[in-house]
Structure 1
Amino acid sequence: MTTARLKILSGAGATLQDAGRHGYMRYGVTPAGPMDPLAFATANRALGNDLGATAVEVSVGGLSVAAETPLDVAIAGGGFRIEHDGRTLPSNVALTLKADSVLTLKAGSDGAWGYLAVGGRIDVAPTLGSAATHTRSGFGGLDGRALRAGDALAVEDARASVGEPAAMIVPWLGRRPDRIRVVLGPQADAFASDEIEAFLDEGWTVTARGDRMACFLKGRPLRHAAGHDIVSDGIAMGAIQVPGDGLPIVLMADRQPTGGYPKIATVIGADLGRLAQVQAGGGVRFAAVSIDEAVAARRAERDALAPAIRLEPVVRTAFSSEFLLGLNLIDGVTA
């Protein structure tokens, strides 16, 4: 068994996530898990891991890491600016992180969540069967908190076989947020038909208030047909509540287990990541689809991840003086 260590050099808001802590909502325990499930699974698939294996979720606060010994890593998700020892890499990339070389992720012009998977298994004690971090309750990950400088993640069964950086050919991550698909309900009857039409036809703006718990939208307030309070019931990821101010709130990975506002619609599973990746100030629109269409979209995701992900070598186009000086460019000496 080979053990490696991934050192956290800097960053803000990055957490350890796996597929989530499922089966405990009835006890008031939130599942947590990735904000963009498809990008999370893609990073793991690129390295041959289980699709739900523990990985590092990176927010717009960025992250900088180094490995003590060579270690395979893969990054997928939002349009982060990725640098490896000063060299710029594509947003979706796999490579072997050499000993003490530095890999940095910084927020880019689009996308809000990125995923760094490792070749091996991040060794962290599970809480209720999961490593997913839920910082509000202090569950999972490293003592239920975000990663910080000085942390070191032990990686069991570590692998170092990818080699030089390779771009991941993942067209399914080229998603545009133009229309986020939803299934109407479960409390769509709390709104008149013209308000449902307005919800679907109007454009909405993602506000800076959002986090892993919820995405807050700004636009023309919706009017309830008969009050905005209901008997609290369960909250699925993607449920769109409409509180008293009429502005929709989309509940995400760290959502509360129950809620007492009517839910006009629910974002389909295949589009959760598309919504999560919209940065503050970005616009979204919604489109109603059937349950059969929602299921078909999830099956299409499953089929996309079934084959091995194709990797293409990254051609270096910039040559820093540090890189050139590190090469043997002299073939011989003449008088």
Structure 2
Amino acid sequence: MSRGGAADRLALAEGAALLRQPPGTALELAGYGGRFRADVACRIALTGAPMRATLEGAPLTWNASHVLPAGAVLEIGGALSGVYGYLTPGGGFDLPEELGARSAHLNAGLGRLLEAGDRLPLAADKGRETGLTLDPVDRFGGGLLRVLPSLQTGMFPEEMRARFVEERFARDSRGNRMGIRVTPEGEGYGLTEGQSIVSEVITPGDIQIPGDGAPYVLLYECQTTGGYPRIGTVIPADLPRVAQAAPGVELRFRFVSRAEALEAEAGYRRALGAIAVRPLVRDPADMPDLLSHSLISGVTAGEEHS
């Protein structure tokens, strides 16, 4: 089975940073959120594709951590840009591990989509700090994707490879956690010979070219083997940009060297472990009950703080 896990690993790390805890479990919100209520007061962080969020009708800042009081209703609407938003609880979820993870892997039949009325147990949260925010990495509007040559890159004519890096592609409406289809401006990239190859191992980031010539960029729930030729492989550091590309968003490709890809990967891993957060400065107009908020770090009213 393929790796699975968060479609946007950077958003998962951002949620953990806002709660000052190691990356763990979160709710992945594909295009739309929902209504949530906790039986006990808990901390939450909202990251990934920005979505409209309210707590008991009052707006909540995205890319920030907050307190969710016991019984209060959190509502999260549709994505304003991007695709995948994330709701991370303080301490994570107290769920059993399967194959070393607590995430669902729908394509492999592990776990399932959440349904109305589902209840998820919260794990113990040792942290207390909230009211933090961050500046997210810009990855919600498409853009340039760095690509390494694959085993079949040389099968594509030189003219076709040159057109591949010059052309602009649009994210198609077809796509899920297995991968997304991108539509070229002009003709497709099908091969006259070698369109079908012996099935072999494939990996997230591979750009498969099926019979219609429109590339598919594979993501973390992709199949493990395939028989379509691959014109290249998007490097892991750019996969969050692929996952967060909404239908119609423009994407472009650029081949890079192995050395450049390794340097980008090293920088990406460093960035995941060094996400900068800062106190969230609130507008008093959005705080109808000032006494319910922590106005000075460590000072709260009653038993709640935000």
Conserved 8 A contact 1:80-1:111 = no
Residue of structure 2 aligned with 1:226, choices 182, 189, 193: 193
Alignment partner of 1:152: what SS?
coil
* Distance of 2:291 and 2:200 partners within structure 1: 62
Q: Which moved more, 1:244-253 or 1:219-228?
A: 219-228
Q: Is 1:109 paired with 2:109?
A: no
2:95 equivalent to 1:124:
yes
Residue-by-residue CA offset, 1:164-207 (whole Å, 9 max, x unaligned): x43x2234356652211111212101200111111111111111
Tell me, in whole angstroms, the C-alpha distance in 1 between the residues paired with 2:291 and 2:62. Answer: 26
CA contact (8 A) 2:205 2:235 kept: yes
Is contact 1:192–1:225 with CA below 8 Å preserved after alignment? no
Q: Which residue of 2 aligns with 1:212?
A: 177
| 8 Å Cα contact 2:43/2:68 also seen in 1 | yes
Bigger Cα displacement from structure 2, 81-90 vs 54-63: 81-90
Please say if residues 181 and 216 of structure 2, whose CA atoms lie closer than 8 Å, have aligned partners that are also in contact: yes
Q: Distance in 2 between matches of 1:234 and 1:172?
A: 31
Q: How many angstroms apart in 2 are the aligned matches of 1:63 and 1:159?
A: 27
Does residue 138 of the first structure (1) align with residue 109 of the second (2)? yes
Cα distance in 2 for partners of 1:191, 1:47 equals: 47
Root-mean-square deviation (CA, aligned residues, Å) is 2.2
1:239: how far off? 0.6
| 2:292 equivalent to 1:292 | no
Match for residue 193 of structure 1? Answer: 158
Q: Is 2:73 the counterpart of 1:73?
A: no
Distance change >3 Å, CA 71–CA 233, structure 1 → 2: same
Q: Where do residues 12-161 of structure 1 align in structure 2 (5 Å cutoff)?
A: 29-51=1-23, 53-139=24-110, 144-159=111-126, 161=128
Q: How much has 1:250 moved relative to structure 2?
A: 0.8
Provide the C-alpha distance between the structure 2 equivalents of 1:102 and 1:186, rounded to a whole number of angstroms: 51
User: Could you say which residue in structure 2 is the equivalent of 1:22?
Assistant: none
Return the alpha-carbon distance in structure 1 between the equivalents of residues 276 and 26 of structure 2: 17
Q: Name the amino acid aligned to 1:178.
A: G
Contact 2:47 2:87 in 1 (8 A): yes
CA distance in 2, matches of 1:136, 1:313: 38
Aligned-partner residue type, residue 230 of structure 1: I
C-alpha displacement of 1:258: 0.5
Q: How far did 1:248 drift? A: 0.3
Would you say the 8 A contact 2:139–2:241 is kept in 1? no
Structure 1 match to 2:271: 304
C-alpha deviation, 1:63, in angstroms:
2.6
- Map 1:2-13 to 2 at 5 A: none
- Whether the 8 Å contact between 2:64 and 2:280 is mirrored in structure 1 is no
Structure 1: distance between partners of 2:140 and 2:246: 14
Q: Which residue of 1 aligns with 2:233?
A: 266
Secondary structure at 1:292 match in 2: helix
TM-score (norm 2): 0.87
Structure 1 residues 285 and 317, CA gap change in structure 2 (3 angstroms): farther
Any gaps of 5 or more consecutive residues in structure 1? 1-28, 328-335
Equivalent residues of 1:82, 1:103 under 8 A apart: yes
Does residue 246 of structure 1 match 2:246? no
- Measured after TM superposition, the shift of residue 225 of structure 1 is 5.2
CA contact (8 A) 1:77 1:173 kept: no
- Identity among equivalent positions (%) equals 33
Letter in 1 for 2:267: A
2:207 aligned counterpart, secondary structure: strand
